[in-house]
Structure 1
Amino acid sequence: MPHKFNANRRGKIPKQKYRVSNWASYNESLRRRGDLTVWVSEEALGLWRAPRRATRGGQRTYSDLAIKICLTLSAVFKQPLRQTQGFMGSIATLLGVEIAVPDFSTLSRRGKGLTLPATRKTDRSDPVHLVVDSTGLKVFGEGEWLEQKHNTKRKRRSWRKLHLGLDLVSGEIVCADLTKDDVGDPTALPDLLDQVDGPVDMFLADGAYDGEPTSDLLAARFGSAIDVTIPPPKTAILSPNAAKDPTARDCHIAEIAARGRMAWQKATGYNQRSRGETLMGRWKAVIGPKLKARNFENQKTEAKIGVRVLNRMTGLGRPSFERTA
């Protein structure tokens, strides 16, 4: 990113200043993020009980919507499942609603493989400007300082990898996946693209996605006209057929060699990829840097709930910036 290239002379570059032009509405959206009526509506309480099943087997007490609401409250207010049970019970008491609250073991059991319906309402005819990035979420185990200081050995895997795809136009997370820490970014990309059901005309990602498998996959999914911007490494060389039929990667390599990497970033709009890193920071600030669940399937449900929470907060209101200096 630009800061890395300007690190040696950062003190001599004046910092750009911005201000929020819609502060009143954005401030109201920030306040509503903690409003219980945003996360628990009367319509949801009316669908609290599970419908009667016609097949053989036991009758469920709580609907999938009820489980989703409780897990959403757990993610928004950063509470373990036992505290979530008590929190939901107090809400039902204050509202005067006669509903049974699922206990923590039911939330854990039903959260495994919970199906969540799609809620994105953005017009699918608008092309998606997709930014893809990944980050690590801790599960359990000793901290890194303890491992280095006392030379402790890690007994089990303690990280999961969260892959997110952000639409620069709407500001929504349009695709997400949680994998184990040994899954590479290009390997997880096909499953992410399967979740994008609209046209994509721009794709931004870091150098981890560089290579023909990624470019071929994007061209097969969204057509050869898609604008793919992935920085090639410093040691990248042109393809053998670059003189007659250059690829997009060949054009990037030639432009970086001719104008420099900073000019290439500005010309291609690669600087917008920083919004993907901002999304990761937002996730860890709002949802948290750790996963509370221990089972991998429950962890995947927890990640899906986190995506829905951030998209719901984005739908409440976004800031509009204008440059002042």
Structure 2
Amino acid sequence: MHAMTRTVVVTDSTACLAPGVAEARGITVIPLQVVIGAHVYDEGTEGASPEAVAAALKAFTPVSTSRPNPAAVLEVYRELAEAGAEQIVSVHLSADMSGTYESCQLAARQAPVPVTTVDSRQVGAATGYAALAAQDVVDAGGDAEAAAAAARARSAASRSLFYVDTLEYLRRGGRIGAAAAVLGGALSVKPLLEIRDGRVASLEKVRTANRALARLEDLLVQAAGSTPVDICIAHLANPSRAEALTTRLTERLADNLEGREVHCTEVGAVLGAHVGPGMLAGVLAPRL
């Protein structure tokens, strides 16, 4: 009997996979880097924490982020091949928001085994859910092509909505995209944003933070419809509001969740650096 092709799913540290989930599912996570002041850290529990980033932003310490370079990605692909991987599916955050996907494409050309790269056109947990969809296919015996297709389908069907206290951090990082229109002298307005076509886009303008959060909740419920979904609530330095939103959605979307928990987490250091303290996001991923 020919052994089943061993396919390994790879993603990056912006995918917000819960601690232990990546390990338990056999997903390899490539870290992005965060530069705080003069120091470079890998994103993650061992390196740059969301708390460190929030504190630095509040203290006006320069914070920037950088993609993993192609050589570092190639090293990961090589190690996986040496450990027995025969195919790799590499699922990453939107190429319009980061050079990570490009690094993976460049590394894939030199990798010792075939690598299928997937631009999720998403950021944060929506990328993580796409990687998990790929892993589900692999676990069921599917090949790299089928796994990549599942990741693309799930990320395309996902909604990422978020509220920021201020557009200042997105503007500083040059990540504001189509949402720049909101800036027209309206910095007092609380913007609701979404990821649309791989970029940050303006969704609605609301007057107060409370109103924004109520609207975020309603929009997520609306987006869920009657479909089974996974939901992640992510925040930066805004735990009480994140927990309140988690509780409300757990009640309102009980049927859609089918007994699964709403995952509530602090957003990683890289995304945190671009959205700033106070950010609250809701990611809704249909279970296809």
- Structure showing greater Rg: 1
TM-score for the superposition, normalised by structure 2: 0.29
**Greater relative contact order structure (CA < 8 Å, 6+ sep):** 1
TM-score for the superposition, normalised by structure 1: 0.27
